[in-house]
Structure formats: C-alpha cells, structure tokens
C-alpha cells in the first residue's frame, strides 16, 4: 500500500513537533537532561491528543545512539526501528485485547531479559484501563520494582478506572484537548505541504468537529480531500466551508442564522420553510438539533461577553456576525430557547416521528413571546395607579377619560394641584355635612372593623397599595390619631404608605367609611404569628409575589397575558 493517511504521515517524530502539550514535553525533556528518568509513566487524556506518540518519542529519546537525549536524531538504526515499529526492545501492547492475567504473566517473564539492541526495554500499554483486576494485581510487584533496564509507559483515556495501587506507582501526565487555534494552524500548515488551499472558515469547521483531537482533524481533512477537491475546484485545489459541510453532513451556519432571524421576526412561514429545506436535503435531525443548540449558545455568549473571542470556536467574521445578531434577543429569551431545544434533544431519542416533534418545537420558538421583567411590570402598574388616583382626586373622572400612550404619558391630564385640593375639600365637606349624625366617636374595636372596609376601597382603587397596606393592623387610637402597625413588616411598607399620594388616598377612604377626619400614624411592630385567613387573599409560603394566586401577580398575568417562568 503506497498511500499513507495523514494521521500517520504527519505523526510527530520529535518533542518539538508535538502540538498543544507543552506542559508534558517540557517536563519530560528536563527529566532526560537531568537523568531523572522514572520507571513508570502514565499518559492520560482525551483521544487523539498525542499519548502514544509521546510515548514513542520518549522511547526514541532514551534509546537513541546519541542519547539518552531530549532531541532524538531519527537517523540512527535505533530511532528508525522504533519509528516503523520493528524494534524488539520497544513493545507496544493493546490493553483491550491483551487484558488477561496470562498476558501479564508472559510480560513478567520477558521483562527479565536484558535488551537485545537498545539501552532500555520499553513496554507501551495502550488503553491500560482495559486490563482485568487480576491482571493489574499480577503487574503490581513488577511495576513497583522493575529491572533497571525496563520502563513502563501506560496510555489511557479513562484514568479513573485504574486502581489506586497502580496510579501511586506511576508518574502521571494529563494531556489536554488541543486548543482550536493550534488545530487550525496545523490544518493550514499541512494543507500547504499538500499544495492545497483551504479557506479559514473551513479550517475552523474541521477544528470544531475534531473536538480537540489532532488525529481526528487529520482524518477529517483526509476525508474532505478524498471527497473530491480536484473535481470541484479544477486545477486550483481549494477546500471551502461549503465543501466541508457537504462532505461531513454538517448544517450550514448561514441556515441557522436564517432560522433565528425568523424567530426574531416572528415569521413562522420563513422558519418552517428553512427547516423543510434542511430536512429535504437529507440532514441528520439530531445533528441539526445539536448545531442549533450550539448556535443559540453562541448568541447568548455574544450577548453576555460581547467581543470576548475566548468563548467562541469561530473566525473573526462570524464572531462579529454573532455580536450583530444577538442584539435582537434578550438574555432571558435566549435561555428559554436553549432550554426548549435541550429538551427537544432528549425527546428525539424517544419519539417515533422526530420530524413532527422538531416542527412543533420550532413553532413554539417562533410563537414565543419575549419575557418582561417583573420590576418593569410593577413600575408600569404603579404609573397606571398614580394616573387613576389622580383622576379620582380631581372629581372622579370616568375610566375612559384616562388614556395612555406607549411611552406611559396620559392622554388626559388631571387638573392642577390647587383644583384637586378644592375638589377634595368640597367632597369631604359634603360627606361631613350629610352625615353629621354618624360622626360620633368610634371605639378601637369599631375602628378595626372600619379598617377592613378601608382596605376594600383601597383594593378597588390601587391594588399595589392594598397589597402592602393589608399587612397593617389598627392597634391604637388617641384622640383623632389612629395608629396602624405593620407586623412582620419592613421599612419598605412604612415608606410606601407614607408617600403623599398614598397617604391622601388612605385618608380619603377612611373618611368615606368612618365619616370623621383622622390623623393616620404608621409604625413597625414585632413578629406576629400567622392566623387562619381566606387562602385566596394570602400569598404563597414561598414568598410575596411568587404565587399565581397572589392578586397582584394574577392581575399582571391577566393584563399582559404572561406566564411565570
């Protein structure tokens, strides 16, 4: 076989050629230079990050004719034999297929013999976590005190499966996923050596797909070239992002932007049309859902972090595009969309018709209303209550006389403060003159009964004030001064009811039910034990404003057709 795949053709042969593992390479080179060579090494990390490659280079560095040296020459017979895998003294064992105790016993018998040609006899055991418990136990004594000429090198993707007795006898090196920028640079360097041009975005797509594995990215590059670079591009061998997506069956990022644009514009026809085009093209549905989930994540990160390039595995052009498109969404909306798509990803595994489920989920995203902050809603309600109370104070205008624009300004303004004072004085005089026979002094008990009637009037006039005022209780009456105490309350209750517009509203309601003017005094009291009350008037135990049965929350939901999220 004359052709050699890129993953083998461009396999690193020296420490300097290893990509993305500087912390491992530096330690090993210093150990060789200082003659601090361990008898057992454990290389752990994700697939395709260079574990067995580094083990081979280390074996060459130790057995090189010019060494041990941190720079194996790759020219001597020892280096050449190790490179092509023919050295009798460097033995590579597959732990998955040689995992029995008999295999380890055979290894123990052979390790006693001195090397035939090299300085050290090296045993490289790949996927060492696949060994059986009895095999590990058979290896322990030899691993702890091997012959002076023997060195063990273990490679595994799952170090947590190794017994602690083995881990404690090895020097452990954790290999990391290779950074995206290093993978992109490697792709472009190899494409240049192969006399192939590759678009930068195509390099990023391959690097993202490889998920930190250099071996995977070279295999993918091989696959794209084999798909037909020469046939597609003629004499100029060019790898485009479209060619990569078509080869690997990926979702074009531009199509994902079209879907989120349709969601932002509430254009159901456009969104369903794009989805049907993707499905008809033969796209893998789970692959599409995962791509959409990653796309929404990028929008959210762009919304949160802005120009921070460390959060994106993308080219600069697409990062700018995400920054631009993310302005059409709120952070809360993106979080809800990610939750919806993540749930879809789980439900696809259990449905017999994934297309219908995908279409219904997309319709849910297209019809999803933008979330509104509860603080903003309460602010608008307070503004509305202030306008209504102003109209009542000006002589009891009809509801239709108060209209609001989108900016919150009233279409009909209440009369000036002087006119309002005259109106209030006139109204109170009429009440006092028309009911002088009812103006007799009331007892504290009677005042407490009348207080409930005051709350009923406030509830009809200003719901937000009632929700705070209902926590108060009439506890004392001295002359014309009535003291209302807030049990379990905070300074917020007191400050709110003492506002001028709220105080005047409470006094007006009091005069209407008691037929006599009073001076209201508000104070904070101690803790009061809860008493049985009509459950429909209580907030839930989880806290004020959290229950759908709370009158204020219910009014917000009814007014704005909202949902609690």
Q: Indicate the pLDDT class of residue 155, thresholds 50, 70 and 90.
A: very high
pLDDT at 171: 93
Q: Does position 484 have pLDDT exceeding 70, yes or no?
A: yes
Q: Does position 434 have pLDDT exceeding 90, yes or no?
A: no
Gap between the Cα atoms of 37 and 517, Å rounded? 96
199: nearest Cα among 234, 168, 239: 239
- Write out pLDDT tens, residues 529-551: 444 444 334 333 344 445 556 66
Which two structure tokens, joined as six digits, stand for 475?
């506890």
Gap between the Cα atoms of 441 and 151, Å rounded? 103
Interhelix angle 200-210/214-233, rounded to 10 degrees, is 140
Of 85-89, 369-373, 559-563, the one with minimum mean pLDDT is 559-563
- Write out pLDDT tens, residues 159-172: 999 999 999 999 99
- Map out the domains of the chain as residue ranges: 6-174, 180-248, 253-367, 372-434, 442-529
Gap between the Cα atoms of 492 and 544, Å rounded? 13
Of 6-15, 362-371, 420-429, the one with minimum mean pLDDT is 420-429
- Write out pLDDT tens, residues 302-334: 888 766 656 666 767 778 888 888 888 888 888
Cβ atoms of 143 and 166 closer than 8 Å: yes
Fold classification of 180-248 (topology level): Helicase, Ruva Protein; domain 3 (1.10.8)
- Write out pLDDT tens, residues 386-405: 666 655 454 444 443 434 33
Fold classification of 6-174 (topology level): Rossmann fold (3.40.50)
pLDDT at 15: 92
- Write out pLDDT tens, residues 254-279: 888 999 999 988 888 998 999 988 88
How many CA atoms, within 13 angstroms, populate the side-chain half-sphere of residue 349? 5
Which two structure tokens, joined as six digits, stand for 440?
């007799």
CATH 3.30.300.180 fits 442-529, yes or no: yes
Instruction: Write down the pTM of the prediction.
Output: 0.61
Tell me the mean pLDDT in the region 12-41: 92
pLDDT at 152: 94
The DSSP string of 343-401 is HHHHHGGG-S-HHHHHHHHHHHHHHPPPP--HHHHHHHHHHHHHHHHHHHHTT---GGG
More confident residue, 13 or 425: 13
Helix, strand counts (H, E) of the chain: 24, 10
More confident residue, 198 or 553: 198
DSSP annotation of 511: H
Peptide bond into 397 cis (omega under 30): no
The CATH number corresponding to 253-367 among 3.40.50.720, 1.10.3720.10, 1.20.272.10, 3.20.20.140 equals: 1.20.272.10
Tell me the mean pLDDT in the region 414-426: 42
Which two structure tokens, joined as six digits, stand for 219?
């295999």
261: nearest Cα among 307, 326, 314, 316: 326
DSSP annotation of 416: P
């Amino acid at each position: 076989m004359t052709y050699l795949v890129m993953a083998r053709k461009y396999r690193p042969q020296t420490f300097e050629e290893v990509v993305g593992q500087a912390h491992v390479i530096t330690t090993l080179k210093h150990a060789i230079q200082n003659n601090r060579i361990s008898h057992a090494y454990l290389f752990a990390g994700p697939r395709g990050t260079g574990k067995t490659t580094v083990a081979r280079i280390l074996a060459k560095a130790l057995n090189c004719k010019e060494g041990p040296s941190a720079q194996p020459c790759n020219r001597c017979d020892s280096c050449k034999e190790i490179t092509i895998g023919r050295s009798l003294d460097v033995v590579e064992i597959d732990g998955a297929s040689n995992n029995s105790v008999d295999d380890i016993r055979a290894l123990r018998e052979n390790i006693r013999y001195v090397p035939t040609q090299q300085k050290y006899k090296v045993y490289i055991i790949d996927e060492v976590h696949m060994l059986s418990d009895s095999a590990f136990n058979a290896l322990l004594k030899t691993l702890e005190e091997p012959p002076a000429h023997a060195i063990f090198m273990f490679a595994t993707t799952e170090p947590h499966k190794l017994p602690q007795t083995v881990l404690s006898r090895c020097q452990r090196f954790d290999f990391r996923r290779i950074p995206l920028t290093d993978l992109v640079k490697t792709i472009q360097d190899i494409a240049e050596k192969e006399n192939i041009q590759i678009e930068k975005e195509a390099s990023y797509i391959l690097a993202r797909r490889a998920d930190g594995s250099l071996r995977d990215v070279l295999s993918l590059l091989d696959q794209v070239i084999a798909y037909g670079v020469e046939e597609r591009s003629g004499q100029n061998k060019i790898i485009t992002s479209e060619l990569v997506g078509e080869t690997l069956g990926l979702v074009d990022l531009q199509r994902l932007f079209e879907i989120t644009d349709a969601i932002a514009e509430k254009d159901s026809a456009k969104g369903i049309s794009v989805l049907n085009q993707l499905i008809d093209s033969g796209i893998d549905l789970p692959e599409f859902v995962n791509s959409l989930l990653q796309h929404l994540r990028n929008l959210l990160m762009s919304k949160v972090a802005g120009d921070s390039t460390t959060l994106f595995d993308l080219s600069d052009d697409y990062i700018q595009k995400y920054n631009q498109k993310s302005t059409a969404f709120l952070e809360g909306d993106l979080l809800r969309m990610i939750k919806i798509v993540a749930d879809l990803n789980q439900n696809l595994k259990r449905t017999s018709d994934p297309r219908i489920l995908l279409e219904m989920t997309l319709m849910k995203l297209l019809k999803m209303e933008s979330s509104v902050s509860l603080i903003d809603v309460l602010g608008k309600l307070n503004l509305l209550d202030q306008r209504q109370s102003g109209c009542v104070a000006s002589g009891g205008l009809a509801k239709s006389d108060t209209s609001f624009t989108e900016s919150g300004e009233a279409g009909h303004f209440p009369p000036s403060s002087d006119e309002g004072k005259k109106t209030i004085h006139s109204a109170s005089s009429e009440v006092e003159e028309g009911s002088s026979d009812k103006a007799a002094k009331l007892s504290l008990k009677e005042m407490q009964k009348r207080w409930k009637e005051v709350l009923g009037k406030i509830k009809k006039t200003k719901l937000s004030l009632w929700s705070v005022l209902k926590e108060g209780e009439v506890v004392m009456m001295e002359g014309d001064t009535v003291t209302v105490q807030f049990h379990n309350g905070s300074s917020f209750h007191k400050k709110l009811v003492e506002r001028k517009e709220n105080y005047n509203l409470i006094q007006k309601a009091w005069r209407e039910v008691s037929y006599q003017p009073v001076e209201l005094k508000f104070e904070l009291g101690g803790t009061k034990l809860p008493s049985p009350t009509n459950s429909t008037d209580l907030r839930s135990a989880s806290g004020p404003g959290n229950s759908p049965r709370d009158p204020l929350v219910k009014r917000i939901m009814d007014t704005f057709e909202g949902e609690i999220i």
